[in-house]
A and B are shown apart, each in its own frame.
Chain A
Amino acid sequence: MAAILEVKGLKTQFIVRGGIVRAVDGIDFRVNKGETVGIVGESGSGKSMTALSILRLVPEPGKIVEGSITFDGRDVLAMNDDQLRKFRGNDISMIFQDPMSSLNPVLKVGYQIEEAMRAHDRFTPEEAKARVPLLLRRVRIPDPERRAKEYPHQFSGGMRQRAMIAMGLSNEPEVLIADEPTTALDVTVQAQILEQLRDLNKELGTAIVLITHNMAVVANICTWVVVMYAGRVVEQGPTEEIFRSPQHPYTWSLLRSIPRIDEKLGGKLLTIKGLPPDLTNLPPGCKFHPRCRFTVDRCFTEEPELMTVGPQHESRCWVQMDNVADRDSDIREVPVVPEAENAAV
């Protein structure tokens, strides 16, 4: 499949009092046409900043200092303001976790969706107007003609997010970036939104980049997963492969530290000790080593590259997970021994 979006060696930094925050520190990934890619990580992993970098929306005092972003053969970092304006919305659009902050509270929802179309020249003003209720119906907002005339505060949280999706799709972009689109929503509403995103992808062929901390959401709709930690890609590959056989200790531990709805296993959850790293003062060697339970000497001094560990599967780790972690054993069992060894190192 052809890549629609390709990110290479991207570095985004914030220069602040007390040093440089390396929010994104050299990441590579690609999104193919019509694919659903999940970027997973916790707060501070750089996943949201990656999305903002792709749209060149990095807030002050942040800067993209290195790397390239290519969209459909065009260099995004070389675009001027006019090209950039056309690029955002027309080719790629983004929806955020908090739809209220991206909707203008004093303008009607329908008008805002219409505006999004008028900013580009794909549709005539008349078409734009006519499309509004259809877009709203498409995201299952009941009574779309009436709803289009309402203000954002009259919408519930889920409806606002759906209105945002409608707006994001109004210009029929190739790629939709969704930054934690369901985090603020209830599970039954999350299920609606996920089902919708999945169908939008299937029926319209829009590629979706889903940014989330929730592994289960990724498993639900993504075909490709990029796991981020400390501004880096630590593991990426096809979703089934990553979940079946995680090759980075971070992914491995994360999957075992979250309780699952479909099984009840006794005993304690596996924990990842310590805290996410301080981005102004990263540890030497592998950035995950202070929290890792499988460290070898090398981890403390040398940072591994992304290495191929399976078909299309890359991981940034010195350790062969198959050798150290018995994946067939009860995954909830806390490996007491490695923990103790780590503490002693």
Chain B
Amino acid sequence: MQQSEVAAPSSAWVAGKGEPLVSLRDVFKRFPSGRQQVRAVDGVSLDIMQGETLGLVGESGCGKSTLGRVVTQLQPVTEGSIFFEGKDLAALHGESLRQMRRRVQMIFQDPYGSLNPRMTVGNIIGEPLRNFGLAKGRARDAQVQEVMRICGLNPNFNNRYPHEFSGGQRQRIGIARSLILRPSFIVADEPISALDVSIQAQIINLLEQLQDDFNLTYLFIAHDLSVVRHLSDRVAVMYLGIIVEVADGLELYDNPLHPYTTALLQSIPVPDPVVEKDRKPIILAGEIPSPINPPSGCRFHTRCPIAEAICSEVRPDLVDYGNGHLAACHFAGKLQGSLAAKVAEQSVAEVRQALIADEPGDNLTPVNA
């Protein structure tokens, strides 16, 4: 593999403004599962620009968390390259990979599972400094307390254990740990989905504040599209191991090109009963298929309301439709407007039909009623 080649090729990817900080090129990740293989990430190419937040959304099992772990090299890639600051992380091993961890950090989903219950908060947050021999004793304590203060934790609590903190505070501890090495790139894997609703906003605001103050670049992985919309500059939508659409945040939400994105966006209820009353979402049939044996052609064709013969045969490429709006669909942009409304109407009607099919006139009404 070519090692210190500057990330560049296929200019179609350089979509956002400025320089890419991280570039994924044809990244594959497969896990053995018995005799078969789980194709968790199946050919992803993506650029993450300096200073931006790229939201990565998708449903469970789409491979978004695996992609996050591959980008941080917590799991090795099966194939492909991950360029970061001019180096291919996928080609690094051992000590050179460890040194790179000073620049790339991760925030984990589970505020309970991601902190060692047998270590004090000060030791947890200070461990990265210790790992790289960056500060000792008093100096380390001072840095730990400083970063605790930045993350909204009481610096005097550095000798307490994680179990003495609430979920939101533990997530702040995890954020402090990821921040103390002053990385340039942070992968946040569902950092708020395990928190209470009234706490989520605190963490979202903290992440935004830190990005401004420390010039961070985020890969923000989430299943909650509302949160992603709030936080992200650009959004990538993942389905069964591949990216089906990438666009600027506003563009994606206003003008989704891929039918999956359209359905995904419509699936999300709005906290406003007036809007909800008239909203008719497209209800997709079934659930995400198994990544062991993904559907042929377009992966989404088994659930797609506008699929045609070609969709099950030819896998569509991710094509630029202008302004860095990319989509992988043979009929990109078709499921919009009146067609979308018609499809939604139909899908809702199908749910209803199933419900009332056996109601009147059949012999199942109770005899002794």
Contacts and interface: CB of A to CB of B under 8 A. Distances in A.
Do chains A and B directly touch (beta carbons under 8 Å) in the complex? yes
Interface of A: 42-43, 122-124, 127, 130-131, 134, 137-140, 142, 156-159, 186-192, 194-196, 199-200, 203-204, 213-220, 222, 239-240, 243-244, 253-255, 257-262, 264, 268-273, 275-276, 291
A42 B198 contact: yes
Question: Sorted from nearest, which 10 A-B pairs have the closest CB atoms?
Answer: A259-B230, A186-B59, A191-B267, A257-B201, A216-B269, A220-B269, A269-B201, A215-B271, A272-B198, A42-B196
Contacts of A158: 287
B274 interface: yes
Contact of B168 (A186, A192, A244, A275): A275
Given A43-B196, A130-B364, A258-B197, A191 B266 contact: yes
22 contacts: A42-B197, A137-B354, A140-B285, A186-B60, A191-B266, A191-B281, A195-B351, A196-B355, A216-B268, A216-B271, A220-B269, A220-B276, A240-B274, A255-B271, A257-B198, A258-B201, A262-B272, A264-B230, A264-B250, A268-B208, A271-B205, A291-B198
Interface string B258-271: 00000111111111
Contacts of A203: 352, 355-356, 359
Contacts of A218: 271
Nearest to A266: B230
Nearest to B62: A186
Q: Which one of B272, B288, B364 has the greatest number of beta carbons of chain A within 10 Å?
A: B272
B211 to A, nearest CB: 12
A316 to B, nearest CB: 17
B171 to A, nearest CB: 13
Contacts of B198: 42, 253-254, 257, 272, 276, 291
B364 A127 contact: yes
A215 B208 CA distance: 23
A127 B365 CA distance: 9
A271 B201 contact: yes
B264 A188 contact: yes
A124 B363 CA distance: 13
Contacts of A159: 287
Contacts of A243: 271-274
Contacts of B272: 219, 243, 260, 262
Contacts of B253: 261, 264
B26 interface: no
Contact of B205 (A142, A196, A268): A268
B270 A219 contact: yes
B201 A187 contact: no
A258 B200 contact: yes
B166 A275 contact: yes
Contact of B287 (A123, A189, A216, A268): A189
Given A122-B366, A124-B367, A258 B271 contact: yes
Contacts of A276: 196, 198
Contact of A258 (B226, B249, B348, B368): B226
B216 interface: no
B182 interface: no
Contacts of A131: 364
Given A156-B287, A213-B197, A220-B276, A188 B263 contact: yes
B188 interface: no
A168 to B, nearest CB: 14
B283 A191 contact: yes
A188 B267 contact: yes
Contacts of B250: 264
A291 B199 CA distance: 11
Given A140-B354, A219-B276, A259-B227, A188 B284 contact: yes
B351 A196 contact: yes
A272 B225 CA distance: 21
B268 A187 contact: yes
B355 A199 contact: yes
A217 B197 contact: no
B100 to A, nearest CB: 32
B291 to A, nearest CB: 13
Nearest to A272: B198
Contact of B270 (A189, A204, A260, A271): A260
Contacts of A272: 198-199, 201-202
B265 A270 contact: no
A339 to B, nearest CB: 12
Nearest to A182: B269
A269 B230 contact: yes
A213 B204 CA distance: 18
A127 B230 CA distance: 52
